[in-house]
């Protein structure tokens, strides 16, 4: 399967569309939002038909007055599948979605969508695989964030981007370092490997409000191997042929069959210290289980 059948026009909802620091106010937020059948979706559906491709893009969705960080996958047969981020922390006015998004494609595989932080909570990727997805679309807007973890990502100087023409080596080193690609390599391959699916990871690159996004878009196979990757700091389309025959005997798929669901009740029970996604993401307090 030619992975170029999926194209990314936009990644996860950028802060320019949903500002965290420079809040435009309720009226402007709703002006920026669209419905699941709004003008942006209709325009991309037409383009998907024209190109005979699946096209995914992020947008601010409004449904009955409620705002969501959403990602629409438009297929050439006219179908549209909209995923609402399950763990939305971008702004207190944005609600979290409550359903998984897995669907059949014209190319003979089932695809799933998880937006940004959805992928960091391991249960989400496992459930998406259990729902039959063999290709996970993972749009992000990440890299260079101010993680509270002492060994997590840290902000990168904006001067690196401003001087990208005069000093490209410094920018490349930072984007591939521990706050960019190095951070991704700690967990992203495991999502593919442990669940036996392809991961199509897309990410913004460049200045995003007062932080830098590090790019590193890539395609990983069901063994967690990188099939294709963008060079940083270039903005480019990643393409690869996906060998779907790798899925059935992959390590992750065999692990799925070895599960013992009767042991996993604690995963569905509250332990009393749960927080909403925004509080969990930004809380300065140590976690005590």
pTM: 0.91
> Would you call 83 helix, strand, or coil by DSSP?
strand
Q: How far apart are CA 191 and CA 277, in angstroms?
A: 20
Cis status, amide bond into 233, omega within 30 of 0: yes
Predicted confidence at residue 28, as pLDDT, reads 83
List CB contacts of 198: < 8 A, sequence separation 6 or more.
3, 134, 135, 136, 192, 219, 220, 221, 222, 227, 242, 247
Tracing tokens 């959805």 back to the chain, one arrives at: 118
Predicted confidence at residue 18, as pLDDT, reads 40
Digit-by-digit pLDDT tens for the chain (289 residues) are 343 344 444 344 444 444 444 566 887 888 899 999 999 999 999 999 999 999 999 999 999 999 999 999 999 999 999 999 999 999 999 999 999 999 999 999 999 999 999 999 999 999 999 999 999 999 999 999 999 898 999 999 999 999 999 999 999 999 999 999 999 999 999 999 999 999 999 999 999 989 999 999 999 999 999 999 998 887 788 899 999 999 999 999 999 999 999 999 999 999 999 999 999 999 888 888 7
**157 contacts 179 by C-beta, under 8 angstroms:** no
Q: CA distances (Å), 19 to each of 16, 52, 153, 162, 184, in order?
A: 6, 34, 21, 21, 24
Q: How far apart are CA 185 and CA 99, in angstroms?
A: 28
| CA 33 to chain CA mean position, Å | 19
């Amino acid at each position: 399967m030619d992975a170029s059948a999926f194209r990314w026009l936009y990644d996860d909802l950028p802060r320019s569309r949903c500002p965290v620091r420079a809040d435009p106010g309720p009226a402007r937020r709703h002006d920026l939002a669209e419905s699941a059948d709004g003008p942006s979706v209709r325009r991309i559906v037409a383009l998907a038909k024209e190109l005979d491709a699946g096209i995914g893009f992020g947008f601010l969705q409004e449904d009955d007055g409620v705002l969501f960080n959403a990602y629409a996958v438009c297929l050439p047969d006219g179908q549209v599948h909209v995923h609402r981020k399950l763990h939305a922390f971008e702004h207190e006015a944005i609600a979290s979605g409550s359903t998984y998004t897995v669907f059949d494609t014209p190319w003979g595989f089932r695809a799933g969508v998880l937006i940004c932080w959805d992928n960091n909570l391991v249960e989400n990727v496992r459930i998406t695989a259990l729902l039959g997805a063999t290709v996970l679309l993972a749009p992000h807007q990440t890299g260079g964030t101010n993680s509270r973890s002492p060994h997590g990502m840290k902000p990168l100087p904006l001067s690196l981007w401003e001087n990208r023409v005069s000093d490209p080596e410094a920018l490349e080193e930072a984007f591939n370092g521990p706050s960019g690609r190095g951070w991704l390599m700690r967990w992203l391959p495991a999502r593919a490997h442990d669940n036996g699916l392809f991961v199509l990871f897309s990410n913004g690159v460049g200045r995003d409000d007062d932080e830098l996004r590090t790019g590193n878009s890539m395609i990983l196979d069901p063994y967690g191997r990188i099939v294709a990757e963008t060079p940083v700091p270039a903005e480019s389309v990643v393409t690869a042929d996906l060998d779907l025959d790798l899925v059935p005997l992959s390590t992750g798929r065999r692990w799925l069959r070895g599960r013992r669901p009767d042991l996993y009740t604690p995963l569905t029970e509250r332990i009393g210290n749960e927080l909403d996604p925004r509080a969990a993401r930004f809380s300065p307090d140590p976690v005590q289980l």
